[in-house]
């Protein structure tokens, strides 16, 4: 995020808090109570928003992680396309041999 984005986000949060405060006052809450409730709702919203970020980090659904996966897949796809038919057949035979070795190891365990 750019510095301007952070400043706009902060101004938006302050504006949202002020708007919520005035709405609660119009519905009949006293100044003190409206302040408490608007602050509680605003903090609760920020906490929930932060938890969504933590969830995305833990599940690796962040933009950077997705871009990295896409890049790795594109590189592997390009390398695969550049292989000659003989190299491709050799690679497939090697993968099949490893797969059979793993299945034998798991059946022996």
What is the SS3 assignment for 43?
A: helix
- Distant-in-sequence, close-in-space partners of 45: CB < 8 Å, separation ≥ 6: none
Rounded (10°) CA dihedral 78, 81, 86, 90: 50
- pLDDT given at position 109: 66
Element (H, E) at 15: helix 3-26
Is residue 25 pLDDT above 90, yes or no? Answer: yes
Tens digit of pLDDT for each residue in 41-74? 999 999 999 999 899 889 888 888 889 999 999 9
Q: How many CB atoms lie within 10 A of CB 21?
A: 20
Q: What is the mean pLDDT of the chain?
A: 91
Closest to 41 in 3D by CA, of 51, 33, 52, 31? 33
- pLDDT given at position 41: 94
Where residue 19 falls among pLDDT bands split at 50, 70, 90? very high
């Amino acid at each position: 995020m750019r510095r301007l984005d952070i400043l706009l986000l902060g101004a938006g949060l302050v504006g949202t808090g002020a708007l919520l405060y005035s709405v609660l006052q119009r519905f009949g809450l006293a100044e003190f109570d409206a302040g408490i409730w608007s602050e509680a709702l605003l903090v609760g919203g920020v906490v929930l928003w932060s938890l969504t970020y933590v969830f995305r980090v833990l599940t690796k659904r962040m933009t950077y992680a997705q871009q990295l996966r896409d890049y790795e897949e594109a590189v592997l796809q390009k390398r695969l396309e550049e292989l000659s038919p003989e190299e491709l057949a050799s690679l497939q035979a090697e993968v099949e041999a490893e797969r059979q070795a793993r299945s034998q190891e798991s059946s022996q365990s």
